[in-house]
Amino acid sequence: MSALKHVTFAAGLALAPVDAGGAEPAGWQALADERAVIRIADGIDRAVDAQDWKRARAYFADRVTADFSSLSGQPAANIASDDLIGAWAGNLKGSKSSLHLRTNHQVVLDGDKATVLSNGYAWNRMEGNGDPLWEVWGTYEHHLTRSGTAWKVDGFTFRMTHERGNPWVKATSGQ
């Protein structure tokens, strides 16, 4: 069975479409790095939705440049990752739930640096003031640095393209 998995994986690589938008990773290490940084971007979403703040924090370097300016109107800031996770934990708790989805990953590797571009969607729900839903669509750009054998996010930008729903849900922390 193990040999079949390796043959299937290798055949899948050979048959995978070529990305016309950029250079393809060269070699097994590049493929492993690409997969690792995509897993981190996706893992942040899963941890946030599960309200697993310890796991969410583990994906970040000690400091992160976070840019939510298109969503909040506030400029990008370089902050302690503990503060970023604390703000998320304060907003997304108890009566407020979320679902984050990400797709169409494009990865650029440059030695111990990586950039992951992706499309994102977030859904927030909280009862208490009219329509309980708020949704947002946009693009993400995650910047990661390899430290030893681990990749860590040290910067990211969310560029909102569309939102709909109750702005009260967006602005109000869960109870």
Q: How far is CA 171 from CA 52, 88, 151, 153, 164, in A?
A: 21, 12, 32, 25, 13
Model's pTM, two decimal places? 0.84
- Kindly give the residue spans of alpha helices, DSSP state H, lying in the chain: 2-15, 27-49, 53-58, 69-72, 81-91, 167-171
Residue-wise pLDDT for 62-103, tens only, equals: 999 999 999 999 999 999 999 999 999 999 999 999 999 999
Question: Which is it for strands 133-147 and 113-125: parallel, antiparallel or unpaired?
Answer: antiparallel
pLDDT surpassing 60 at residue 2 = no
Classify domain 26-171 by CATH number: 3.10.450.50
In tens, the pLDDT along 111-141 reads 999 999 999 999 999 999 999 999 999 999 9
Q: What are phi and psi of 77, to 5 degrees?
A: -145, 145
